[in-house]
Chain A
């Protein structure tokens, strides 16, 4: 187990390093000058004069070679200094400190919804003997799976905020209102639901369903029944735990999808998280912010993957022996739909 943990952690670290280099390089490849877009943003969308652009680029050090800039960035990043936003001049670290917790909260709750809902629906579909129930759950899951995440979000917004007016449509709280739990919860429900339902919810539920259904006639489940265990014990201890392994293996990767999905969800629900920050930064070519956000997102995803691996190892101790690829024998359907 120790070896397994170390191996996983080392891999995660390597992934983060590779990620930082990759996203720095990727953003560097993007043409178009951040300076131009800053100036344009400042002048109300009017095109900026090329000489001004060149001057600003020089001042921002954007004309240094890529390795120099990467070195500068890394040496800052390890000290928690991600530079300042090209646009507002605000330290990126400060922006992250302001926004990352909200994204974590949103995705955390969405993961919770996703897990509770998918496990619930999947188990119901796997365990019920009523064909109509199973079929209607399956159909519902299929329908959810066919809907782009943003459509789901808009639909929820339309139903619960615009039509029924049960829930607020966005933000953390009313402006000026202290952000307390009682205020936050209703504001959180719609975006978290949208995020959970809009991103692989069906996949998860189906993984639970097939994972559990496949085990229903497994010898150890049969044995558990033959030993006169209570149905609840058989289901919870012998059927569900191992049946959740494929789902858990997939969930770690899925969190990445979810966070990426949060980008659009945060835009729609005015949720002040890193995703919204990233989209805005991307539109303004504010690479200082974008690079940091991507890195932070990547770190969260890597951590989520790590947690997913640990969950799998906990659910199925055999995995600890092999030390890698807990998902692979189950088909490893690691589709990332960001």
Chain B
């Protein structure tokens, strides 16, 4: 039985046709993943189903969107309201932000139920929370900002499904979650779909996620579905060229000579002393009445030319570790050594030299650029001059003509390359990369990973790569370090990761979808 049928959907925003003749079916009880790179029109399609566009933006949609026989595009505002929330549930990417901080979780559920006069809010709400694995008694009175990321997403999911809609649209719901939490949330979604015969439209850029939790995958490119089919079959034998490209990228296989091969790079530096070391590092974060021990006695060495992946769940201390290794954040206890010298006993000027010798790349590349700066200024600032900017951009695979543009006008992948160009400008021996590919689509991610490979190979750069994605870690690293609760619980060569014994590592491994 088809729950949702989209026929020949065309969506135009002023000046641009983003969705162009898209057709898609989602059967009842089925999970269909809508997969595509950034800008392919995934989110706009999802939003078009319940017409959730910015009220000020002139978005025009044509075609047909049928939900169990009702053409949603033809509904008036009043009828559409009755469909929203009741027949179509919508879960957003950033769950915490999608909830009103001033309203309790219970309040959210109550108003949803009341808006559709669907019954007793307390009862329905509690049931929805239980279905999503939350203890209603515990979270009912809580406000969104008091929940963890995983809890917030579950609560948002409960809210989207409180009235047991025929269709659930899950719009990148797990992008910001760590793999363990992601697995839990998507497991719930899938289980509910099966139990309640709910159609689920899963919007994601992650083909592996789609492959593991969706029954069918629809691949979107240029505003059209280029291929739709059962997950296993589609991934095993992609037919459309674009799908093939996507699947290849998602496999995370190095295309060139592997960086893992020590012979591939000219600096077999295993014997040399570590570039940077952490010794018993402890770091405590204080904020708003809460005190968190982010790092608790961490020891880590990073040697010349080595690639270390730091993995762990949200809150495990990964990013804090990067700040410490970059000599930016002072540990409460323990030492950070650059070469043999403790960076926090150095004079300010020398410590800054240490920082210059370390490249740093952030997940949110755009936010790491001064909004007033052009690409050229961003890179030139690190370089100390303007004339090498073109060459640097070229090195990270960007057109030097981009120098005049502002980072905000670039795509996510391009921004991350600009960030890399900046990090490399001072010729560092070590690159610290904090989740540089999270949030990028697989194609963009693959390009960044390939670039890092090349840099390691050609320049012998040591890399510390923070990620919550074990597949990426495997792909990029010689060594995988697993953090949990601010401690290093596993430090193994990448190739022996599967044999790792620590429960945390096992949990991550189990939760990580693979193609």
Residues in A lying within 8 Å of B, measured CB to CB: 129, 216-220, 222-231, 233, 237-238, 241-242, 315-318, 321-323
Contacts and interface: CB of A to CB of B under 8 A. Distances in A.
Contact of B84 (A129, A228, A315): A228
B116 A222 contact: no
A228 B56 contact: no
B85 A227 contact: yes
26 contacts: A220-B101, A223-B92, A223-B98, A223-B156, A226-B85, A227-B84, A227-B85, A227-B160, A228-B83, A228-B84, A228-B86, A228-B115, A228-B116, A229-B81, A229-B85, A231-B81, A233-B115, A237-B100, A237-B111, A238-B100, A238-B103, A242-B100, A242-B101, A318-B143, A321-B289, A323-B289
Interface of B: 50, 52, 54-56, 81-86, 88, 90, 92, 94, 97-103, 111-112, 115-116, 143, 145, 156, 159-160, 288-289
A219 B115 contact: no
Given A241-B102, A321-B288, A219 B97 contact: yes
Contacts of A238: 100, 103
B83 A220 contact: no
B101 A318 contact: yes
Given A229-B111, A321-B289, A219 B101 contact: no
Contact of B56 (A216, A316, A322): A216
B54 A317 contact: no
A123 B54 CA distance: 18
A4 to B, nearest CB: 10
Contacts of A230: 81, 115
B443 to A, nearest CB: 26
Contacts of A322: 288
A216 B55 contact: yes
Nearest to A216: B55
A153 to B, nearest CB: 37
Given A216-B55, A217-B54, A228-B116, A317 B85 contact: no
B66 to A, nearest CB: 18
Contacts of A229: 81, 85, 111-112, 115
B100 A233 contact: no
Contacts, number: 87
B97 A227 contact: no
A27 B92 CA distance: 60
Contacts of B288: 321-322
Contacts of A241: 100, 102
A191 to B, nearest CB: 35
A224 B100 contact: yes
A228 B98 contact: no
Given A230-B81, A316-B102, 12 more contacts: A218-B97, A219-B94, A219-B97, A220-B100, A222-B52, A223-B99, A224-B100, A229-B81, A237-B100, A238-B103, A317-B102, A318-B143
Contacts of B85: 226-229
B98 to A, nearest CB: 4
A105 B92 CA distance: 48
Contact of A227 (B56, B102, B112, B289): B112
A321 B287 CA distance: 10
Given A219-B92, A219-B94, A237-B111, A226 B99 contact: no
A68 to B, nearest CB: 45
A323 B97 CA distance: 22
B98 A219 contact: yes
Nearest to B289: A321
Nearest to B57: A217
A231 B78 CA distance: 10
A128 B160 CA distance: 29
Given A226-B52, A226-B90, A321-B289, A220 B99 contact: yes
Contacts of B54: 216-217
A222 B102 CA distance: 15
A216 B86 CA distance: 22
Contacts of B86: 228
A218, A228, A238, A242: which has the most chain B beta carbons within 10 Å? A228
A241 B99 CA distance: 14
B88, B98, B102, B143: which has the most chain A beta carbons within 10 Å? B102
A326 to B, nearest CB: 13
A186 to B, nearest CB: 39
Contact of B102 (A224, A225, A242): A242
Contacts of A237: 100, 103, 111
Contacts of B111: 227, 229, 233, 237
Given A220-B100, A222-B92, A317-B101, A228 B81 contact: yes
Contacts of A228: 81-86, 112, 115-116
Contacts of A219: 92, 94, 97-98
A226 B84 contact: yes
A225 B100 CA distance: 12
Contacts of A242: 100-102
Nearest to A224: B100
B352 to A, nearest CB: 30
Contacts of A224: 100
A275 B116 CA distance: 54
B328 to A, nearest CB: 24
A214 to B, nearest CB: 12
A228 B54 CA distance: 15
A20 to B, nearest CB: 33
B499 to A, nearest CB: 42
A45 to B, nearest CB: 60
B65 to A, nearest CB: 15
Nearest to B156: A223
Nearest to B103: A237
A217 B97 CA distance: 12
Nearest to A3: B289
A228 B156 CA distance: 15
